[in-house]
Chains A and B, each alone.
Chain A
Amino acid sequence: MQPVVVEHIVQNYRTKKTVVAALKDVSFTVNRGEIFGIIGPDGAGKTSLFRILTTLLLAESGTATVDGFDVVKDYEQIRNRIGYMPGRFSLYQDLSVQENLEFFATIFNTTIEKNYDLIKEIYQQIEPFKDRKAGALSGGMKQKLALCCALIHKPSVLFLDEPTTGVDAVSRKEFWEMLHRLKLQDITILVSTAYMDEASLCDRVALIQKGQILSIDTPKGIISRFKKPLWAIRANEMFKLMNAIKEDPSVESCYPFGQYHHVVFKTEKDSKEKLENIGKDGRYTDVEIKPIEPNIEDCFMELMTN
């Protein structure tokens, strides 16, 4: 039995005049004990999907099961066995760290002591502040506390909605290390993020854009599907350079990426010469051109344009 099965989920939001599609026919399956990443920009439908799976929203059509239970019919069973960490900090700000954890342990009919080994590593980091009000914690510590509260009843599936948004780079790295250790405890983890670089930390990812899943695979699998050559180019006049490259009809796409522009050609033939010619036309200095390996973001850009 797969811990999460999603089949043809459709969800729309209605305002007074318009209907906005949040999810268009989304289907996927998550395997037991894997970290499954839902990767996509803001507004792609990640939170809607999470809320449907955590029984907080009803989908307009389609079915989904968590641990074999239907998200509509058997919502009570699901609520007993999953852990959910919403995107927005959702603990009681006026309760202390200890009180929050105790509250969530008790409402799930368990105690902190019973599952302490599960959260020990994470909790030890915030234990020095256990009498501090949750509202007074730093962003990273808030996330750790929220994770502890979502874990305290030893859920079989853990839903983390953008857990690293607004968290500094070091805490993000720590957070992902924690997730990998949790995976060893046989907890299935669904995590959503808008940071493409975090995709490679998942076992499998689903790239989602405007409510549609573009691709589902292992991070390596997704990258390996990127067959075309990819070039990085840099010069002193980046904006003009981008326009010049885009004028070439054989260029499929060109987008800024850090200090470079990433350029994809429609065909492999003569691609390097073409870039060099643009660079040499006299308007640019410090031109640097190099072939590079694609990453998830390149794949995402590629999938988006198709």
Chain B
Amino acid sequence: MKQFLIFVKKEWLHIWRDRRTLFILIWMPIVQIILYGFALTNEVKNSNIAIFDQSRDEATLQISDEIAASHYFNLVKNVYSYKDIGATFRKGKIRMAIVFPKNFRYDLLHSNRAQIQLIADASDPNTANTLTNYASSIINDYQQAVNQNADLPYTINTQVRMLYNPELKGAYGFVPGVMALVLMLVCTMMTSIAIVKEKEMGTMEVILVSPLKPFRIIIAKAVPYLFVSLLNIVSILLLSVYVLGVPIVGSIWLLMAESTLFTLTSLSLGILISNSAQTQQTAMFISMMSLFLPTLLFSGFLFPIENMPWPLQVISNVVPSKWYYIIVKNIMIKGLGFESVWQETTILVGMTAALLGMSIYKFKIRLA
């Protein structure tokens, strides 16, 4: 035990005395959360639109006003011909155009039928879809307001209720994903250099010629980094709540515990990388490059895993961040309890044990 503690102390001193690295370790997650939190989003906000209003009556003006007032749209231009619409699209100034035909209000009141044309830039199909949906729903609202006075039979109203995220905020889906990504990258990178550093500095030679057991060395190396990671988890959660505006609906302690577990998984992965790498640079490279893409692709927060071909779905199962993402979503956003995440938790525990076991098994008790 004493052996173990002095090793932990030694590791801690390495981290503590290397202030520059410590600074990076603490600030990197914060910067990443802010960057990814705001940049990695598919939310549609302030999209530029143009309106071609050929009737300019009370109804079209009211609809135009409502559309322009919503935070989804930003009216940049009133155009006066179809030709003009095409030109504005080609310049890339707008993503959608709204066309009101002549005699809009007249048609609406007298024949109960009026048409509005929505023209969207579908080079980005998702955004185009979202934009037309938003616009349609604003128009629908208007229609309902008008209909209140008239009595029109057989109207079916769809009431949509957005569960867990009523405002359809992008951050709700992204914060858990970004948490998984950042924790994975930072924790793995931290420990990935821990063992290979001793190899490079030559200190491994003296450590090996001592009664220290490999598992003690490995666990002792992970412990100080676990504390740094806990600090990171707290800062990430604070940022999520106060900067990105995502509340923690479920138990914060359960979330902390699950995050700690995921951190342990990442640290173990880092140690395994460190064990096999020959230089610190290789270790960093492996942990940065080989983890970033899989985490991004297979966590499920950018691309739904259900839509992937089955070989990729199988691969996604070995990516720890996928399970953590599900856990965080369930606890943080949906407010569910442990009974909803015990399977994912078990998988993470199993992965951690396997990674640690592999590290200890693969730990070279000799130099070559």
Contacts and interface: CB of A to CB of B under 8 A. Distances in A.
B206 A149 contact: yes
B206 A106 contact: no
Interface in A74-107: 75-76, 79-80, 82, 84, 86, 88-95, 99, 102-104, 106-107
Given A57-B368, A58-B366, A90 B208 contact: no
B3 A109 contact: yes
Nearest to A159: B209
A189 to B, nearest CB: 16
Contact of B365 (A75, A80, A91, A107): A75
Interface centre among A92, A93, A107, by most B CB within 10 Å? Answer: A107
Contact of A56 (B3, B10, B367): B367
Contact of A57 (B6, B18, B366): B366
Q: Which secondary structure dominates where chain B touches chain A?
A: helix
Contact of A79 (B7, B203, B211, B367): B211
Interface residues of B, number: 24
A80 B205 contact: no
Given A95-B13, A103-B10, A108-B210, 13 more contacts: A55-B209, A56-B205, A56-B366, A58-B366, A80-B211, A84-B209, A86-B206, A90-B202, A92-B14, A99-B10, A103-B6, A103-B7, A109-B2
A76 B211 CA distance: 7
Interface of B: 2-3, 6-7, 10, 13-14, 17-18, 201-203, 205-212, 365-368
15 contacts: A55-B366, A56-B366, A57-B367, A57-B368, A58-B368, A90-B201, A91-B203, A92-B14, A94-B14, A99-B13, A102-B6, A103-B6, A107-B6, A107-B210, A149-B206
A58 B368 CA distance: 8
B227 to A, nearest CB: 18
Interface of A: 51, 54-58, 75-76, 79-80, 82, 84, 86, 88-95, 99, 102-104, 106-109, 149-150
A121 to B, nearest CB: 22
A16 B6 CA distance: 41
B13 to A, nearest CB: 6
Contacts of A99: 10, 13
